Amino acid sequence: MAGSQTTGITEKRGRFGRMRVLRSAVLLGLCVCALRCAEGTKLSNIVLILTDDQDVVLGGMVSVERTRWLSVSMGSLSLDCFTVTPLCCPSRSSVLSGKYPHNHGVRNNSLNGNCSSADWQRTQEPQAFPVYLQKRSYQTFFAGKYLNQYGKPQAGGVSHVPPGWHQWHGLVGNSQYYNYTLSVNGKEEKHGDQYKTDYLTDLIVDRSLRFLDQRRYPFFMMLAPPAPHSPWTSAPQYQNTFGNIKAPRDGSFNKPGGKDKHWLLRQPHNPMTNSSINFLDNAFRRRWQTLLSVDDLVEKVVQKLEDLKQLNDTYIFYTSDHGYHTGQFSLPIDKRQLYEFDIRVPLLVRGPGIKPKQTLQAPVLNIDLGPTFLDIAGVNVSQTPMDGQSFLPFMAPSLRNGSVRPYFLVEHTGEGHSDQDPACPSLGPGLSQCFPDCVCEDAFNNTYACVRTLSDYNLQYCEFADSESFVEVYNLTSDPHQLENVVKKVDPTLLQTMNQRLIKLQSCLGESCRVYKQ
């Protein structure tokens, strides 16, 4: 795995020699699953740091060394954290609403796909978790990327500020590092290409620290930096870092999809051309470079909370909207796929009552974040329309009887051009996201729904909505890299069980989505 590449990191980052040792109260506890609210009536503060396209399977957390250092001394790591859909706008909509995509209706990153559309604003934003927190007297602050179409004229323009936010610094459109527009409490604010005033990750830090200096408690802050999303523009001081780093070569890297995988995985060139490999290696290195500024963000926020004597009363969550791949099954770069590298995400948590070095062997989803925030704030989650469930009980010693989710849903609606992708017109209609050598990462028939289970079986079962009625099944205990589709080898009774679970989840709503196992 990518952990073998850490040897080149420290020598490239002399700044760690200057790292001051924060006392134990400052340490950011690391855990992928559960937490505990402080006893008593005082409401805890909450900080959510949501990165863009940061994986955990392929070493996406390796470069944020300071964040991990702040984390590991008082926390624990579990890898069982997933997004319910591996694409930016649908995933972020799931974080905000606490709902599966089939319930919030966001299908892709386009306005036609319901991303930040008038329908989303009318039906989903009024039920998003910030609205509930504001009603509980939380001071709420947002800075960074919201939804891919946010702020566009067809989406209400910069004057639209989603309900639930006291202070709003929302990026117009998709991730950028320079030359972007913000909506600052509904007013347009344009930025150029000067590092000191415009680099978006650092601007988010500066404005969040200014908000914290106002000393209004309890508070909720959501910080959504652009990293490590393309165009992968790092801060000037980090542009020469990780010069020899390459994407991990193990697992499914540069492996053919094979005839037992869906059509989209059968079309990449294998082995990959040198141009594709150089392209993805460059992307991998630059992604890590952009994350160094996120590493700075984490430390500065933690230090400010310590200076204000608020750290012990604050939960800090660090996660991503979905994973990412660089060369797996010969797909150069992107997300959108059903495999572990695209659906697993990092989740780091520290806060009141979290004991050190704990590991939770139960899946947590990004739709569980909102319910967990509400649980911390004392809101009865069962009275909300959310599909997710709070994972607050799992880490609290007094609440160990929390119900484990035995299986869950992952869904994606494929997107393609009605005629042809402009980058590769020779391939015909129905494809999109075509990268070097005309390898395409998405298509209309890349529409699937999966059941992922970890409790009774370490299994993934996926059905595609296409003319092939394709099914993929993976035993992740014996095949963690999902190299072999075992649909023809699995007991038909088990396949029937997984199919019935899938049917149930695809029509679930609210409480019926919360599948429990004591």
pLDDT at 20: 39
Q: Assess whether pLDDT exceeds 70 at residue 2.
A: no
Q: Are 440 and 264 in contact (CB under 8 A)?
A: yes
pLDDT in tens, 254-313: 999 988 999 899 989 899 999 999 999 999 999 999 999 999 999 999 999 999 999 989
Q: Are 53 and 320 in contact (CB under 8 A)?
A: yes
Hey, what's the torsion of the CAs at 165, 170, 174, 178, to 10 degrees? -150
Residues in the chain: 518
Looking at 33, 88, 115, 434, which residue is catalytic?
A: 88
Nearest Cα residue to 349 out of 314, 322, 323: 314
Q: Could you give the CA distance from residue 169 to residue 165 in angstroms, rounded to a whole number? A: 10
Nearest Cα residue to 351 out of 10, 39, 82, 87: 39
pLDDT in tens, 168-188: 999 999 999 999 999 999 999
Q: Sorting pLDDT into bands at 50, 70 and 90, what band is 105?
A: very high
Hey, what's the torsion of the CAs at 7, 8, 11, 14, to 10 degrees? -110
| Cis? peptide before 356, omega within 30° of 0 | no
| Three-class SS of 366-419 | HHHHHHHHHHHCCCCHHHCCCCCCCCHHHCCHHHCCCCECCEEEEEECCCCCCC
- Residue 428 carries which DSSP code? -
Contacts of 18 (CB under 8 A, 6+ apart): none
Contacts of 185 (CB under 8 A, 6+ apart): 161, 167, 168, 169
Domain covering 45-407 assigned CATH 3.40.720.10 in the classification: yes
Q: Could you give the CA distance from residue 182 to residue 209 in angstroms, rounded to a whole number? A: 18
The helix (H) or strand (E) run that includes residue 95 is helix 88-97
Q: Give the pLDDT mean for 97-103.
A: 98
Q: What is the DSSP string of 249-307?
A: -STTBT----TTS-HHHHSS-SSPPHHHHHHHHHHHHHHHHHHHHHHHHHHHHHHHHHH
Range in 243-257, 289-303, 357-371 the model is least confident about: 357-371
Q: Are 89 and 106 in contact (CB under 8 A)?
A: yes
Tally Cβ neighbours within 10 Å of residue 494: 14
Q: Are 203 and 356 in contact (CB under 8 A)?
A: no
Q: Comparing 14 with 65, which gets the higher pLDDT? A: 65
Q: Sorting pLDDT into bands at 50, 70 and 90, what band is 455?
A: confident
Mean pLDDT for the chain overall: 88
Whether the CA torsion 133, 311, 51, 363 is positive or negative: it is: negative
pLDDT in tens, 301-339: 999 999 999 998 999 999 999 999 999 999 999 999 999
Hey, what's the torsion of the CAs at 237, 65, 346, 271, to 10 degrees? 70
Rg of the chain on CA atoms, in Å: 22
Question: Where along the chain do its domains lie?
Answer: 45-407
pLDDT at 492: 96
Q: Given the DSSP bridges, would you call strands 45-51 and 314-320 parallel, antiparallel or unpaired?
A: parallel
Q: Could you give the CA distance from residue 261 to residue 86 in angstroms, rounded to a whole number? A: 18
Nearest Cα residue to 327 out of 441, 457, 422, 423: 441
Q: Assess whether pLDDT exceeds 90 at residue 71.
A: no
**Catalytic residue at 513?**
no
φ, ψ at 312 (rounded to 5°): -70, -15
Q: Could you give the CA distance from residue 224 to residue 262 in angstroms, rounded to a whole number? A: 33
Q: Sorting pLDDT into bands at 50, 70 and 90, what band is 33?
A: very low
| Cis? peptide before 406, omega within 30° of 0 | no
Whether the CA torsion 117, 135, 172, 316 is positive or negative: it is: negative
Largest CA distance in the chain: 65
